[in-house]
Amino acid sequence: MDGSNAMWGGRFAEGPAAVMREINASIPFDKRLWKQDIAGSKAHVAMLGARGIVSAEDAATIAAGLDQVAAHYAANGVAEDLGLEDIHMQTEARLAEAIGPVAGRLHTARSRNDQVATDFRLWVRDAIDQVLAALGGFQAALLVRAEEHAASVMPGFTHLQSAQPVTLGHHLMAYHAMIARDVSRFADARVRMNRSPLGSAALAGTGFPIDRAMTARALGFDGPMTNSLDGVSDRDFALDYLVAATQCALHLSRLAEEFVLWASQPFGFVALSDQWSTGSSIMPQKRNPDAAELVRGHSGRIMGCMTALMVTMKGLPLAYSKDMQDDKPPVFEAHDLLALSIAAMTGMVKSATFRTERMRAVAEAGFATATDLADWLVREAGLPFREAHHVTGRAVKRAEDLGIALDALSIEDLKAIDARIDDRVYGVLSVDASVASRTSFGGTAPDNVRAAIRAARETSE
Ligand code: ARG
């Protein structure tokens, strides 16, 4: 469109500079809101008709016109006409093409400020629903693999040093617990955000006799927001989404990092399926865990999106400022990256081959049952834990010198270290005995892991 703007150009003699048009336009990204924009407008015009603010006939014409515009968008996409600035002006212009000047009645008792706040909330609400569904699928995949490996022994680490044996099922269930917290964060954000800003108008409300409860209900909100200034200027809902997305991405990144480590030759704990590996153009032997690396990488970008919007918002006075137009790209970007990351981790978890023999061998090699020996000395020989720790340290040293596992030390060797040790100690020195003994609530004993899986299945039903 040349010359002054059709939507607000009444007091302008000249049109904007080309760069002004470019910096001002949000249509290249906010066209993603078109479904929400149509839904918001339909709810608004139905209310205008019901309240007699526009005639019933005009309201019906506008509603039918909006359906036509929606059909046009669905078939052709949304044109990136920078002159029409954003999805709201685009839709109004399309509506005018479809039904003529009566289209101009749609914007009665409304502003783009409450319109965009409404559209964006609806979009983020849909995004949360998509994420919740995807996380449910990821959790289901974790449960299946955890059940399969409830008793598969692997080395548990602290400081990335072999610490105590655990089971792979227990390790996977730790991620299940993290994702359960993510699910609760997203669900909580959804509850908090589900209030309608529509009817806040530009910032102060309106003198038209609107019914905000009616539009809120029509759009599936729990009710209207209580303050019109807050209605147009609040972006907490987007930040809540980004904070939840960041924490979720952080969890996915930690599992991705473990897959990268585990898939490396020195670990050899996992073989990623062909579908989730890539080759090297120069080194024929390579099977690279690129998807896991990218999930790890994407988490950094998602955190960046959260930071971007927090910094954008932190200095803004009430109510709307155009800075807030920049709220959408980071949320869209974070959502796309998170959706890909969840799908990729789900695929990797489902299809990975866990090398349980190798995990067991490493658990056995790392003197990971040393704590069990110390605990046995406390329980069966009455030593104070500190002394038991010391005795066990000498046993580990002896096994290390001989190049054998702890449970391969002869009883003579053990008795030479401390005469109070007897044969019964072999009952706790194997990795299986070690994990089976960890029966405290939340511990790694296979029966506990199976109980945790059952409990998780029950809560998700
Ligand atoms: N494109 C704008 C945005 O995304 C819509 C709101 C514009 N409001 C205004 N007063 N210029 O934030």
Dihedral pair phi/psi, residue 20, rounded to 5°: -60, -45
Centre of ligand 1 from the C-alpha of residue 133, in Å: 31
Burial 48-73 (b: 16+ CB within 10 A, else e): bbeeebbeeebbebbbebbeebbebb
Identify the pLDDT of residue 233: 98
- The minimum-distance atom of ligand 1 relative to the CA of 85 is 1
Centre of ligand 1 from the C-alpha of residue 325, in Å: 6
Instruction: Write down the catalytic residue from 55, 280, 410, 460.
Output: 280
SS3 state at 14: coil
The structure's pTM equals: 0.93
Annotated catalytic residue 159: yes
Contacts for 208-216 with beta carbons within 8 Å, 24 or more apart?
Answer: 208/51, 208/53, 208/108, 208/109, 209/51, 209/53, 210/47, 210/48, 210/51, 210/53, 210/109, 211/47, 211/50, 211/51, 214/43, 214/46, 214/47, 214/50, 215/43, 215/44, 215/46, 215/47
pLDDT tens across 267-304, in order? 999 999 888 888 777 777 778 899 999 999 999 999 99
Q: Is 407 in the pocket of ligand 1 (CB under 6 A)?
A: no
Q: Is 115 in the pocket of ligand 1 (CB under 6 A)?
A: no
Identify the pLDDT of residue 319: 96
Contacts of 185 (CB under 8 A, 6+ apart): 243, 244, 247, 248
Identify the pLDDT of residue 275: 87
Tokens representing 419 are 């005469």
- Hey, which bits of 201-327 come out as E strands? 270-271
Could you give the percent of the chain with pLDDT greater than 70? 99
- Average pLDDT, consecutive stretches of 10 residues, N- to C-terminus, the chain (461 residues): 65 85 96 98 98 98 98 97 95 98 98 98 98 98 98 97 95 98 98 98 98 98 98 98 98 98 96 84 81 97 98 98 98 98 97 97 88 94 95 95 91 95 91 94 97 94 68
Centre of ligand 1 from the C-alpha of residue 116, in Å: 7
- The minimum-distance atom of ligand 1 relative to the CA of 324 is 12
Task: Give 3-state DSSP helix, strand, coil % of the chain, rounded to 5.
Answer: 70, 5, 25
Annotated catalytic residue 162: no
Q: Is 327 in the pocket of ligand 1 (CB under 6 A)?
A: no
Position 205, amino acid: G
Identify the pLDDT of residue 37: 98
List the domains of the chain with CATH numbers: 18-108 (1.10.275.10), 113-356 (1.20.200.10), 367-429 (1.10.40.30)
Name the closest-CA residue to atom 2, ligand 1: 325
Ligand 1 pocket mutation, candidates 112, 118, 124, 321, criterion most atoms within 8 A of CB: 112
Q: Residue 127 and residue 300: Cα distance in Å, rounded?
A: 20
Contact 305, 241 (CB under 8 A): no
Enumerate the H helices of 264-404 as residue ranges.
290-314, 328-351, 356-365, 370-381, 385-402
Q: Is 112 in the pocket of ligand 1 (CB under 6 A)?
A: yes
Closest residue by Cα to residue 274 from 347, 225, 211: 347
Identify the pLDDT of residue 2: 45
Dihedral pair phi/psi, residue 458, rounded to 5°: -65, -45
Centre of ligand 1 from the C-alpha of residue 111, in Å: 9
Name the closest-CA residue to atom 4, ligand 1: 325
Q: Residue 282 and residue 305: Cα distance in Å, rounded?
A: 35
Identify the pLDDT of residue 4: 62
Ligand 1 pocket mutation, candidates 85, 203, 325, criterion most atoms within 8 A of CB: 325
Ligand 1 pocket mutation, candidates 322, 323, 324, 326, criterion most atoms within 8 A of CB: 322
SS3 state at 114: helix
Q: Is 113 in the pocket of ligand 1 (CB under 6 A)?
A: yes
Contacts of 297 (CB under 8 A, 6+ apart): none
Contact 190, 219 (CB under 8 A): no
